[in-house]
Amino acid sequence: MKEERISQKTGGFLRAAKKVRWKHYVNYIVIAVLLIVFSTSSLTGGMRSSSQYLLEKIAISMILAVSLSMLVGFLGELSLGHAGFMCVGAYLGGKTAAILSASLGNGFLTFLIALLAGGISAAICGIIVGLPALRLKGDYLAIVTLAFGEIAKSIFMNSSNETFGGALGLETPRYDRKSLFILAFLLVLLTLAVIQNMIRSRHGRAITAIRDSEIAARATGINVTRYKLIVFAMSAFFAGIAGVLYSYSNQTLQSSKFGFNYSIEILVMVVLGGMGSINGSLIAATLITYLNVKLATILTGNLAILQNLIYATVLILIVIFSNAPALSGFREKYAPMNLWRRKRTAKVDPALRRDDAKSWSRIPTKIKMDELLSIDTRPEEHRAVRLEGDKPERRD
Amino acid sequence: MELITTLINGLSLGGIYAMIALGYTMVYGIAKMLNFAHGDIIMVGGYTILVFLNLTGSPILATCFAIAFCVMLGVLVEKLAYKPLRGSSPLAVLITAIGVSYLLQSLAQILFGSASKMVNVGYLDSLSFGGITVQGYTVFTLACSIVVMICLTLFIKCTRLGKAMLAVSEDRGAAQLMGVNVNRIITITFVIGSALAALAGLCTLMKAPTISSTFGSMPGIKAFTAAVIGGIGSIPGAMLGGILLGVVESICNRVSSIAPYTDAIEFGILIVILLIRPTGFLGKKRREKV
């Protein structure tokens, strides 16, 4: 009865179902529309190369943030070494591209093979790092990922000149700047499609179940080992792809760039975007990268050192404001989502509003606590001792 | 002979790591947070020594000032940045700690410039006995760390405050019910940790007298590794891990063929040890119960 009334009001149950589905695709559509706008303006020559560089950086950050979000937000394992996977992907992909561009030419095919090489090598590292994850918990795992990142950095830093360039850096082939960011955004769409569909599938629910309680997940028959390794491998694979893009975007690779600080920057995107929210990490990745690149161009010379100060202060304030238990009332009152919701609920016909207390009392299985507590649980013979008219006494 | 010198150098380096690792491990044990800003307290200590050395000219006085300043800074950071987040998710606290670390580094860059500076904290004569020559700072660092460790162990074992700290690290809720003022205990933890960080800053400066804004980053990460190797949250574990890491680093640095890979070897040891003992050497195993 109630549903009928609602459906009359909103214009049919079908439309409601459709609305939910649109919500699932909104991030693809936004990115695709922006991509079409930007690529037309780039291919017609109306875009500065600094903007193209910025867009490449944003795409790389998006891939990194979404892939880390899967590991931290959905599997619930803290990783402090995401830049390490990126480093492996960047170096191996960049090296592959450098070798192949001699024979195949510096074209799309080389790019594709380099992507696969970088992604797969990073994924193998992901599985290797994921193996300790099966035994370790929480902060101990975090330090292992940190250690992995530092090891990867150190190995590439000390490589010889012929292999990976060592301290001088590895020269990697460049791609036409006009179209590299388009490829990068297509890869963002691919990453989103794979990770988002995975999370929304049965496997994704298994992964979030592991996050919420590993023991309960194991008890329901979820293969925790397999899922943990899969998530580590996938997350590392996309980080590796981001690394290959990075190597195409910056023509010289310096392994010192992929240190602890870069891993933290990616983690900050995920945390500020909201744990377990892919759209949140996309938005945070865009904003943080945009601010970093813009601040670096605006603040030059003596002002350049202010960049970190601003970044650090804003970071601390945002985290305290959005997490402090003392401010939770304030947050709930003024959160934009809640303001919007309040307006919407205010418009709903009062007759349609559910009265929770009423429906609760209608449920026939409601336990009557008073009656339960007054039941005398003593054995029969003890009960007989009781005087007539005595109240049942409770024994603890 | 050379082996013994290397070992002694390793022990003294391990002493520095152990002093920093004690700060990490105590804060982790009591406040249940990874304080990534701890390494930068060392840097602040180093710069304070630089400033007061220029003002007073006495290294001892400068060190005292540095310890006092670091203690104040540590307590201030705890009150302003970490206390509001008590009870929220550990990841939020971690990110705040990293924010504090960036903040301290950039403030140091603004105040002192990004170029590294020389700090001359004085030279101690090297000692030699039986053909072994040991640098003065090595002996000083070793003595410092041994005294610190003994004092800290006695403090934890024998005083009421120390026992209260142990109680809070064991079970915060139960300790609170027994009348322990948890907030005060956490503040005291930060006081001890920051003082040790300042002392570690002095010892590092005696070893290599240059300072920049990233002075404390690598020792901080290494000491964190040491704390995890020993079992984070365990005080003897931090000492053990620190000394192990120091000795390994000193040996690796002596062998020229593997010297560039010292960092990689140390972190590799960490991974191997965690694979064998998932909670470090002396860490407590927590069985998860349903």
Give the count of beta carbons closer than 10 Å to the beta carbon of residue A174.
15
Nearest to B84 among A143, A306, A324 (CB): A324
Q: Where does residue B32 fall: left (phi above 0), alpha (psi -120 to 50 degrees), or beta otherwise?
A: left
Rounded mean pLDDT, A233-245: 95
Question: Are A98 and A68 in the same domain?
Answer: yes
Question: Are A273 and A310 in the same domain?
Answer: no
Q: Report the pLDDT value the prediction gives residue A382, as an integer from 0 to 100.
A: 67
Instruction: Please give the residue that has the higher pLDDT: either B15 or A297.
Output: B15
- The residue among B24, B36, B107, B271 with the most chain A CBs within 10 A of its CB, best to mutate, is B271
Question: Are A220 and A194 in the same domain?
Answer: yes
What is the rounded distance in angstroms from the CA atom of residue B215 to the CA atom of residue B49?
A: 13
What is the extent of the structural domain holding A199?
A: 48-298
What is the rounded distance in angstroms from the CA atom of residue B197 to the CA atom of residue B46?
A: 10
Residues of chain B contacting residue A299, judged by C-beta atoms under 8 Å apart: none
φ and ψ at A78, to 5 degrees?
-75, 130
Question: Residues A338, B81, B210, CA angle at the centre, nearest 5°?
Answer: 140
Q: B225, A147: Cβ pair inside 8 Å? A: yes
In terms of average pLDDT, the best of A180-184, A392-396, B27-31, B184-188 is B184-188
Q: B100, A150: Cβ pair inside 8 Å? A: no
Q: Which tokens belong to A125?
A: 């590292």
Give the 3-state secondary structure of B117-143: EECCCCCCCCEEECCEEECHHHHHHHH
A254 is a domain residue: yes
Rounded mean pLDDT, A317-346: 75
The yes-or-no verdict on residue A318 having pLDDT over 50 is yes
Question: Are A172 and A220 in the same domain?
Answer: yes
A216 is a domain residue: yes
- Note the pLDDT tens digit of each residue in A123-141: 999 999 888 878 887 778 8
Summary mean pLDDT of chain A: 82
Q: Predicted confidence band at A299 (pLDDT cuts at 50, 70, 90)?
A: confident
Please say whether the beta carbons of B206 and B257 come within 8 A: no
Q: A312, B103: Cβ pair inside 8 Å? A: yes
Q: Predicted confidence band at A6 (pLDDT cuts at 50, 70, 90)?
A: very low
Question: Are A340 and A270 in the same domain?
Answer: no
Question: Are A118 and A154 in the same domain?
Answer: yes
Q: Predicted confidence band at A1 (pLDDT cuts at 50, 70, 90)?
A: very low
Q: Report the pLDDT value the prediction gives residue A7, as an integer from 0 to 100.
A: 45
Question: Are A162 and A293 in the same domain?
Answer: yes
Q: Report the pLDDT value the prediction gives residue B132, as an integer from 0 to 100.
A: 79
A9 is a domain residue: no
The yes-or-no verdict on residue A26 having pLDDT over 80 is yes
Question: Are A165 and A307 in the same domain?
Answer: no
Rounded mean pLDDT, A244-264: 89
Q: Report the pLDDT value the prediction gives residue B257, as an integer from 0 to 100.
A: 83
In terms of average pLDDT, the best of A23-37, A213-227, A374-388 is A213-227
Residues of chain A contacting residue B88, judged by C-beta atoms under 8 Å apart: 323-325
The yes-or-no verdict on residue A89 having pLDDT over 60 is yes
Distance from CA of A158 to the nearest CA of B (A): 7
Number of domains composing chain A: 2
A49 shares contact with chain B (CB less than 8 Å): no
Nearest to A140 among B110, B228, B261 (CB): B228
A5 is a domain residue: no
A141 is a domain residue: yes
Question: Are A139 and A239 in the same domain?
Answer: yes
Rounded mean pLDDT, A200-211: 93
Question: Are A77 and A184 in the same domain?
Answer: yes
Name the CA dihedral angle for A151, A157, A160, A161, rounded to a multiple of 10 degrees.
150
Residues of chain B contacting residue A324, judged by C-beta atoms under 8 Å apart: 84-85, 88
Summary mean pLDDT of chain B: 89
Q: Which tokens belong to A31?
A: 């990115």
Rounded mean pLDDT, B119-131: 78
ipTM over 0.85: yes
What is the rounded distance in angstroms from the CA atom of residue B174 to the CA atom of residue B161?
A: 16
